[in-house]
Structure 1
Amino acid sequence: MSPYDKENLSMSTLKDLCDEFEKNNHIDASFYRQFRVKRGLRNADGSGVMAGLTRICNVHGYVISDGEKQPAEGKLQYRGIDLCTLVDSCVKENRFGFEEVAWLLLFGKLPTQGQLERFTRLLAHCRELPEYFVEDMIIKAPSPNIMNKLARSVLALYSYDSNPEDTSLENLMRQSIHLIAQMPSIMVNAYQVKRRHYDKETMYFHPIDLNQSIAESILGALRIDKKFTPEEAHLLDICLMLHAEHGGGNNSTFTARAVSSSGTDTYSAIAAAIGSLKGPRHGGANIKVNEMLGYIKEGVQNWQDDDEIAAFLEKLMKKEAGDRSGLIYGMGHAVYTLSDPRAVILKANAKRLAEQKGLGADFALLDAVERLTPQVLAKVKGIDKTVCANVDLYSGLVYRILDIPTDLFTPLFAIARTPGWCAHRIEELTTGNRIIRPAYRAVLEEQAYVPLSERQ
């Protein structure tokens, strides 16, 4: 029972309070059209409102031809380099790429071999958390949700920083490197404590191996025997590369930029971004895909029958099944139309390993969701819209292939996105030079002040 579930805040009291709120806080949907409000900072065609400039990343998913939005194959560039090229190059050379991506995002150019080796060693040496941090900040205050613990721990790091408020480039870079290195350590420790406190399972803490890449260190720390295959480590490394950055307009990065524009400290900005990423409409969508897959497996008798799968997807969209949200998680994106390059890469890797792990049927179901959703959308909504799978459709399956618990699906996204958040924070502070402040149109009705004794 929550400590707030007291008699003076009973369900009946809360219902009365909510009823009072709902009587006085309705905004007619027509007002958004009347006042030309761009809800979600989106234009009428679904494109994002232009709010800034960046040299960090480009997300391309459509073209404008004769004033009309036309679908196109998705492309994602980190500092002008195609993400697919980055991933393919690392795979061909059989080396880890997340550390290289972190350098690229922070500094703007690919590192030389010497720079990359020094940077990788630096990140490894910065993984260790401050003395007694785990005991005081994680073990003594376990959390059932690792994302909340990540945010709280990042805020707590402020107290261990001898110069937390300085926004000089040197200090921002120091803080960024430490956060990139320490986020995996926080995640693993928080998960072990959650296992003991909430799941009643054994927790274990392995010493840090400075010779491991970030992907290797995560897998080694999560497994009691510290064992993993090179193929598993490289697959996780690819996941980290894919999630490292996605432009300034995605919700969590925009949050980091908006909070940074006020001049606040690094820890406050990154903690805010983590809170944004947690949401099921953003980074938390990979968990919702996993839940949705469970509903499909329960509600569909023949997993090879496209008609039966499509009928169930129709129920999902009509809020007759699943979580009743009306959403098919993992499908559709604000920018991508024909394809999400991250989903394409993940799908190719998932297909190769799913059968080995006994998850071939799950992969086939997700493939069916990808194929059938556009026609279900057209039938239910009457909309002939190009819809593609996004990165979340297959990321959860890849994590399951790697035996990574569901609790860590979104935290891994946060770990991967930290270099991107830090790069955008630095860019906002060095080039933005103006606090982000959009406008809201007031649609309130004036009312007279009534003395307390006369109120009904």
Structure 2
Amino acid sequence: MTNSVNSAKDLDSILFDISPKIKELAGLCEANTGIDKELFVKHDVKRGLRDVNGKGVLAGLTNISDVCAKKIVNGEEVPCAGNLYYRGYNIKDLVRGFLDADHFGYEEIAYLLLFGELPTVVQLDGFHETLTERRTLPPNFVRDVIMKAPSHDMMNNISRAILNLYSYDEKADDTSIPNVLRQCLNLISEFPMLMVYGYHAYNYRQGQDMYIYAPDPQKSTAENILMMLREDRQYTELEARILDMALVLHMDHGGGNNSTFTTHVVTSSGTDTYSTISAAMASLKGPKHGGANIKVTQMFADMKEEVKDWEDDDEVRAYLEGLLARERFDKKGLIYGMGHAIYSVSDPRAEIFKKFVAQLAHEKGYDKEYALYEKVEHMAPEIIAEKRKMYKGVNANVDFYSGLVYHMLGIPEQLYTPIFAAARIVGWSAHRLEELINVDKIIRPAYMPLAEYREYKNLNDR
């Protein structure tokens, strides 16, 4: 037996340091876990559940949303401008509708995704009231959960809070549709508070002032986020409208995106709503999914440092080529914000968003930064096509501009992905309900075993 740990320093060195022994074991793990990439081709394994053209393996059916990036021409599929449909409605028409009606869109589109039809005025008012009355947390929850052990990572922080809400729910494990809907509506309503309060709690532990504002029942979800986040509670109409637009555009994206598929997988096991949403949060946190907008803003911050003249096409091109050559930024060989698993011609969310980004950039004095983003948007696809083998087109995705928008809104980087989650939790909720209503079968795809069968040897004979 080893000696007992005598100090906190000893404990930290055991639990948190990567010791030589851990490195040795990691090498053993890598050596015995690696699989020849050619075997994936030989056995026609769809890595990432997608083929080489990015088309996903059919794993389910959904009525909730559709991502369309191809059309049939002379009997063949060809790439086309991307379209996103919520319950059969084109996102462009939905956006135009609530803009023309001069009201915020989050609540209306949330109703559509959850219940399958656009609400009437009476239904929308009733739904807004339903969300408003649920914008509350259990007694002492902020003190006992959010204020204790706050994390610099808000996604983990929020996930922990969601799992803790399980303990306050007397029907936490009831998976009947009315009860799951109740839980989902609660979480949708509570999420902005969990996000903003968690952020303030962490800052308080770092020595900053603490301010916790209750949501205003008369304000929209977007307005409440900005109001609760800012010490002076002030925001402009344009700021609130653009944040509302971001929430609508991020609300759902088909059943196959990583976090929504996670929702289906975890729901199929029969587990509770809190565990399901927490699992979806864990998926969205990844930099290949919801965390991508942070990478975009970090990449542009590095670019603005390295490129002396932002208007010089040659200098910008040299930087982008350096990214692909693994010589710039994080040396991953990627131009973040460019390309998408589905879209090859255009991302409709980016197209819609861009129209409002320019307006906000002008109001905030970011015209020069916006011009640089536009330059990269036009240059990057051409440079990627020159340097890489392409199976489909490359275009700017919604993450390309969303990070810039959040920066101009004064939203801290720690909340970029949580803002995404504040929108996507509506889609997750709709897909959880869809899985429970329609399938009732645990998801379990097949994996081909490659290890040869071996005879067991006793410990002393190895």
Give the TM interval when normalised to the shorter protein.
over 0.9
Q: For residue 293 of structure 1, report the CA deviation from its aligned partner.
A: 0.4
Instruction: Say which of 49, 52, 55 aligns to 1:41.
Output: 49
Q: For residue 402 of structure 1, report the CA deviation from its aligned partner.
A: 1.2
**For residues 189-224 of structure 1, what are the alpha-carbon distances to aligned partners after superposition, in whole Å with 9 as ceiling and x for unaligned?**
1000111224x3212111221111111111000111
User: 2 CA distance for matches of 1:191 and 1:185?
Assistant: 10
Instruction: Say which of 449, 455, 461 aligns to 1:448.
Output: 455
Paired position in structure 1 for 2:259: 252
SS of residue in 2 equivalent to 1:5: helix
Deviation larger for 18-27 or 105-114: 18-27
Deviation larger for 177-186 or 225-234: 225-234
User: 2 CA distance for matches of 1:299 and 1:234?
Assistant: 34
Paired position in structure 2 for 1:190: 198
User: 2 CA distance for matches of 1:383 and 1:42?
Assistant: 15
User: 1 CA distance for matches of 2:135 and 2:376?
Assistant: 39
Paired position in structure 2 for 1:170: 178
Instruction: Say which of 215, 230, 238 aligns to 2:222.
Output: 215
User: 2 CA distance for matches of 1:7 and 1:257?
Assistant: 34
C-alpha contact (below 8 Å) 2:302/2:329 kept by paired residues: yes
Deviation larger for 29-38 or 43-52: 43-52
SS of residue in 2 equivalent to 1:356: helix
Q: For residue 374 of structure 1, report the CA deviation from its aligned partner.
A: 1.4
Paired position in structure 1 for 2:394: 387
SS of residue in 1 equivalent to 2:303: helix
User: 1 CA distance for matches of 2:77 and 2:202?
Assistant: 47
- The size of the alignment, in residue pairs, is 454
Instruction: Say which of 58, 71, 77 aligns to 2:85.
Output: 77
User: 2 CA distance for matches of 1:115 and 1:382?
Assistant: 51
Letter in 2 for 1:306: D
The question of 1:147 aligning with 2:155 is answered: yes
Letter in 2 for 1:219: L
Paired position in structure 1 for 2:4: none
Letter in 1 for 2:95: V
Q: For residue 406 of structure 1, report the CA deviation from its aligned partner.
A: 0.9
Q: For residue 292 of structure 1, report the CA deviation from its aligned partner.
A: 0.6
The question of 1:225 aligning with 2:226 is answered: no
**For residues 70-116 of structure 1, what are the alpha-carbon distances to aligned partners after superposition, in whole Å with 9 as ceiling and x for unaligned?**
21011111111111111112112221110011110010001110110
Paired position in structure 2 for 1:286: 293
User: 2 CA distance for matches of 1:378 and 1:436?
Assistant: 37
Deviation larger for 14-23 or 4-13: 4-13
Paired position in structure 2 for 1:321: 328
User: 1 CA distance for matches of 2:241 and 2:362?
Assistant: 18
Letter in 2 for 1:39: R
Paired position in structure 2 for 1:158: 166
User: 2 CA distance for matches of 1:16 and 1:288?
Assistant: 31
**For residues 315-357 of structure 1, what are the alpha-carbon distances to aligned partners after superposition, in whole Å with 9 as ceiling and x for unaligned?**
1112111111111111111111111111011111111121221
Q: For residue 384 of structure 1, report the CA deviation from its aligned partner.
A: 7.4
User: 2 CA distance for matches of 1:205 and 1:55?
Assistant: 39
Instruction: Say which of 282, 303, 316 aligns to 1:309.
Output: 316
C-alpha contact (below 8 Å) 2:212/2:228 kept by paired residues: yes
C-alpha contact (below 8 Å) 2:82/2:347 kept by paired residues: yes
C-alpha contact (below 8 Å) 2:338/2:381 kept by paired residues: no
User: 2 CA distance for matches of 1:13 and 1:412?
Assistant: 40
C-alpha contact (below 8 Å) 1:148/1:275 kept by paired residues: yes
Letter in 1 for 2:46: K
SS of residue in 2 equivalent to 1:143: coil
Q: For residue 19 of structure 1, report the CA deviation from its aligned partner.
A: 1.7
User: 1 CA distance for matches of 2:240 and 2:16?
Assistant: 52
Pairwise mapping of residues 51-90 of structure 1 onto structure 2 (< 5 A)?
Answer: 51-65=59-73, 69-90=77-98
Instruction: Say which of 24, 28, 31 aligns to 2:36.
Output: 28
Paired position in structure 2 for 1:429: 436
C-alpha contact (below 8 Å) 1:45/1:69 kept by paired residues: no
SS of residue in 2 equivalent to 1:76: strand
Paired position in structure 2 for 1:101: 109
C-alpha contact (below 8 Å) 1:378/1:385 kept by paired residues: no
- State, as a whole percentage, how many aligned pairs show the same letter: 48
Paired position in structure 1 for 2:271: 264
- Tell me how large the CA RMSD over aligned residues is: 1.7
C-alpha contact (below 8 Å) 1:74/1:340 kept by paired residues: yes
User: 2 CA distance for matches of 1:47 and 1:341?
Assistant: 18
Pairwise mapping of residues 316-355 of structure 1 onto structure 2 (< 5 A)?
Answer: 316-355=323-362
SS of residue in 1 equivalent to 2:364: coil
C-alpha contact (below 8 Å) 1:61/1:336 kept by paired residues: yes
SS of residue in 1 equivalent to 2:82: strand
Q: How high is the TM-score relative to the length of structure 2? A: 0.95
User: 2 CA distance for matches of 1:59 and 1:319?
Assistant: 32
User: 2 CA distance for matches of 1:67 and 1:345?
Assistant: 30
Paired position in structure 2 for 1:206: 213
Q: For residue 9 of structure 1, report the CA deviation from its aligned partner.
A: 5.9
Q: How high is the TM-score relative to the length of structure 1? A: 0.96
Distance 1:9 1:282, change over 3 A: closer
Deviation larger for 43-52 or 220-229: 43-52
User: 2 CA distance for matches of 1:448 and 1:273?
Assistant: 40
Unaligned runs of 5+ in 1: none
User: 2 CA distance for matches of 1:196 and 1:182?
Assistant: 21
**For residues 102-137 of structure 1, what are the alpha-carbon distances to aligned partners after superposition, in whole Å with 9 as ceiling and x for unaligned?**
110010001110110011011011011111111111
The question of 1:277 aligning with 2:284 is answered: yes
Deviation larger for 200-209 or 70-79: 200-209
Q: For residue 382 of structure 1, report the CA deviation from its aligned partner.
A: 4.3
Q: Which runs of 4+ in 1 moved over 6 A?
A: none
C-alpha contact (below 8 Å) 1:60/1:76 kept by paired residues: yes
User: 1 CA distance for matches of 2:55 and 2:74?
Assistant: 16
Distance 1:186 1:10, change over 3 A: closer
